[in-house]
Structure 1
Amino acid sequence: MASRNQLVVPQANAALDQMKYEVASELGISLSQDGYYGNLATRDAGYIGGNITKRLVQIAEQQLAGQSR
């Protein structure tokens, strides 16, 4: 089944992919480089996704704080 999620900025795909590996590494979770995540526990996938979301929110808040000055 194809993913229905579409990026608003398609060029951001590489940056998000890199962030996924960085966050997984920080959490001590190893990800396969070939894109197969069948052996990844659901809990670990949730940790990675949750931390990516937190990081993206922090980046957005910093950008908004910089614009309001």
Structure 2
Amino acid sequence: MSRSNRKVVPECAQALNQMKYEIAAELGLMTGGFNAGASDTEFAGELGGTGGSSGGQVNWSQLATRDVGFVGGNMTRLLVQRAEQVLKGL
């Protein structure tokens, strides 16, 4: 069985990457400040940065599988919540 992380909408890659870093920061997995590569983030005020080049990074290869799973699980939870909100408006 082959697994694929192919995105249905390839244009969303940057937004998903930003979300991944925001969630990692919320979980305390960032080193330094927040830096997801974008200047306007939803949680920038809570994270103590504006998304600029403050040096925050996640060394994904050195995180425990459980921590990376928390990030992915939270991403899924947020995406489902947002989809439900959109569908309720229809």
Range into which the TM-score falls when normalised by the shorter chain: 0.7 to 0.9
Residue 72 of structure 2 is matched in structure 1 by: 49
Partner letter of residue 26 of structure 1? E
Residue 13 of structure 1 is matched in structure 2 by: 13
Give the structure with the larger helix fraction: 1
Partner Cα distance (2:14, 2:63) in 1: 21
Structure 1 residue runs without a partner (length 5+): none
Per the TM alignment, residue 4 of structure 1 is displaced from its structure 2 partner at its CA by: 2.0
RMSD of aligned Cα (Å): 1.2
Report matched runs for 1:19-30 at 5 Å: 19-30=19-30
1:15-58 per-residue CA deviation (whole Å, 9 max, x = no partner) reads 000000001111111214xxxx2101101001100000000000
Structure 2 residue runs without a partner (length 5+): 31-57
- Partner of 1:61, secondary structure, is helix
Aligned residues: 61
- Partner of 1:28, secondary structure, is coil
Identical columns (%):
54
TM superposition score normalised by structure 2: 0.64
